[in-house]
Structure 1
């Protein structure tokens, strides 16, 4: 059974059962047909609100990456450029709260981004 099949058969956690952390953090989304840069607006252990340039359809599955965390999700609602996603497995609380440090230290995040871009340039990963 694939992870996507097990996701659709997994019991759903009641909506708004988990506390949400409000943010504005850049993240990576991956869908079957494309990758997308996005902005994480809020997150809990069970789901998130994400702003995207080209919103997917309700029911579409994807992957969210931030830092070392990867979460598989299903789009459960859509409003303009914002989507609501439900994770297939609840995220560890420490992963969610670690985002608070990223949000409260934007200079550190910007420095990490610049270092990553410089590393890619030096290794020839970007031209």
Structure 2
């Protein structure tokens, strides 16, 4: 993720959350969860507002979440009650730790 992109999300975090938090993604979320066993361990990679993470938690899944934006990490942590780690894509070191990785609208920020 570029510095410019991070600057944008940090400067516009509240607007971003307002525009995405209550978008109904339940059909796509449900399709994703149908691929996993109940109580699977999910990484929400680029969690933004925390909308999807909260859905997964409410449906009995264990979730770790990361985002590149410090402000979005804080907002998502407050919204979900779990710690969100500030991390860029290239910083992830875990291998075979998660049963599923959710990266909704975040992979487009992976540098070429």
Q: From the CA coordinates, give the structure whose radius of gyration is larger.
A: 1
- RCO comparison, higher one (Cα < 8 Å, 6+): 2
TM-score of the two chains, using structure 1 as the length reference = 0.26
Q: Could you say which structure has the higher strand fraction?
A: 1
TM-score of the two chains, using structure 2 as the length reference = 0.28
